[in-house]
Structure 1
Amino acid sequence: MENGYQRLARRGISRRDFLKLCTFTCAALGIDLSLAPQIAEAAEANLSKKPVIWMQGQGCTGCSESLLSSADPGPEQIILDLLSVRYHPTLMAASGEQAIQSLEECITQGHYILVLEGSIPTADPRYCFVEGKPFIEQFKMAAAKAEAVIAVGSCACYGGIPRAGLTGAVGAQEVLEGVKVVNLPSCPVKPDRLVGLLLYYLSQNALPKLDGLNRPEAYYRYTLHDSCYRRMHYEQGEYLEDWNNPDTLDWCLYHKGCKGKETYTNCANSWWNDGANFCGYAGSPCAGCSQPEYYEGFAPLFVNPKEVK
């Protein structure tokens, strides 16, 4: 039987590329960089052993889309090699009865990682049904035997945008008693955070240090405001007021409704789209999508706080 590294090599992923990914993971999670080779070895040894169940509640599938848009590592590496996904309603080839059979077999075997995308309706179970059963029942059944439960995206963590609706949408932790859920909030989830968390778990057989909201401290320890490149303009009282004035385009966006001062995220340090950009640098105020208040608690988003009644 081929080992984890041989499986990676068969798909064209060199050991150097895999070590590079592990090194980035060490840096992001605050681990000694000299341990990257050991983490790589431990992860390789577990690649073929740790199945992943990816369940979808109320959502737009944006977190799956975000994962598929990752370039380094690419979606085929993540889904086929790094994660060993056994069940994903959107991506798996099987459908209907075959898909549910795959899910049930994986749950019966146990020893898997459960990932939730989308919120869970509590006002009425009929808002979200899977295979003729309330989704909340299916999710609880899967969570009961999972080694770890990870909520990806703000909907799965806190209810997200659907929370303001009529379905009673909540995050995973609110429906699970006695089970610790690791939250990876943002809208959508940032792929490298999920890959980094999984690599850490595979190599250490433990979860990283979490904050009070069960988010990995490595990604959510500081506010966006702390490291925003516009911070110096904030300190000088320089705020963008007119989008048409080219002289002030790099000024602080607080008067445009930026939520960076109260949003804990590493977006300004680890840019999106594989390092291409992040909201503030692209000229958009932070919407606060990694906070429990998002969306309803922060609405209206792009309005000067002084104008909000």
Structure 2
Amino acid sequence: MASIILDKISLRYHETLMASAGDLAEKVYHETVKEGGYILVVERSIPKADDKFCLVGGRPFKEIVLEASKKAKCIIAVEACASFGGIPKATPSQGIGVGEVGKGKPIINLPLCPVHPEHLIGTILYILTKGKLPELDDHKRPIMFFGELVHDKCSRREHFDQWNFLKDWNDPGQREWCLFEKGCKGPMAYSDCPVRKWNHGTNWCIGCGAPLTGCSEPGFYGEMSPIYSASLPSEVFKG
């Protein structure tokens, strides 16, 4: 992954990854914005209630995003917060996704919390090699990553079908049972996490015994709460 970032992609500006800092870093930023034609990657939500909830260098984050998006080829919103508002959406800041302020520009949402690195690199490389955006769903997510229901690929699906729901965390006999009654949002969340997994395919949330929070969906976090109790809309089971 590092070789792709260093050798294949021209990363012009990133607060923590770029070598320069301070005035020199800001100079690179302004030169890049003036030049245009870049892919803008944005992380974190934008406060709707008041700009003071997120200031960068004394400037409102919203102002910076609008400035940087003017000459961008497209915008990639990474993580749940930048995609749909995420946890800040349910806080006093009333966070919103980048797409709500960057209107008029092609936008790709790469939710999850955090963003999967392969989703980000894969999307950027697709745009650079194909010269176009990947096919997106109704929520502007790449179908190649978010085209399948987690529930359908879950290793515990057979236990769901047999109504074997984990109720006691301390019972070894229930260790591999379905986590639906512990709040798993797999039946309404779309992503390739069950197949791709994390840390080079090592594991994923359900694989290590944690209920899926639904961080790939626009309703995360507020509409998915409470996280650790079964609270899914009835339409999940229709048909």
TM-score range relative to shorter protein: over 0.9
Q: Match of 2:16?
A: 90
Q: Secondary structure at the match of 1:88?
A: coil
Q: Match of 1:194?
A: 120
* Alignment size in residue pairs: 232
Q: Match of 2:237?
A: none
Q: Match of 2:170?
A: 244
* Matching of residue 223 in structure 1 with residue 149 in structure 2: yes
The answer for unaligned runs of 5 or more in structure 2 is 233-239
Q: How far did 1:125 drift? A: 1.7
Q: Secondary structure at the match of 1:105?
A: helix
1:142 to 68, 74, 95: 68
1:282 to 203, 208, 211: 208
Q: What pairs with 1:1-309 in structure 2 (closer than 5 Å)?
A: 73=1, 76-305=2-231
> Deviations for 1:52-98, whole angstroms, at most 9, x for unmatched residues?
xxxxxxxxxxxxxxxxxxxxx2xx32432233211111222322222
Q: Any conservation in 1 of the 2:224–2:231 contact (CA below 8 Å)?
A: no
> Which one-letter code corresponds to 2:52 in the other structure?
R
- Cα RMSD (Å): 1.4
The answer for unaligned runs of 5 or more in structure 1 is 1-72
Distance 2:134 2:167 in 1: 41
> Which one-letter code corresponds to 2:64 in the other structure?
Q
Q: How far did 1:279 drift? A: 0.8
Distance 2:7 2:49 in 1: 38
Q: TM-score, with normalisation over the residues of structure 1?
A: 0.72
Q: Match of 1:4?
A: none
Q: Any conservation in 1 of the 2:109–2:140 contact (CA below 8 Å)?
A: yes
Distance 2:33 2:107 in 1: 18
Q: How far did 1:127 drift? A: 2.1
Q: Secondary structure at the match of 2:67?
A: helix
Q: Any conservation in 1 of the 2:42–2:82 contact (CA below 8 Å)?
A: yes
- Structure 1 segments, 4+ long, off by >6 Å, are none
Distance 2:26 2:94 in 1: 26
Q: TM-score, with normalisation over the residues of structure 2?
A: 0.93
Q: Match of 1:24?
A: none
Q: How far did 1:110 drift? A: 1.0
Distance 2:118 2:230 in 1: 32
> Deviations for 1:277-301, whole angstroms, at most 9, x for unmatched residues?
0111111110111111111111110
> Which one-letter code corresponds to 1:174 in the other structure?
E
Distance 1:174 1:146 in 2: 16
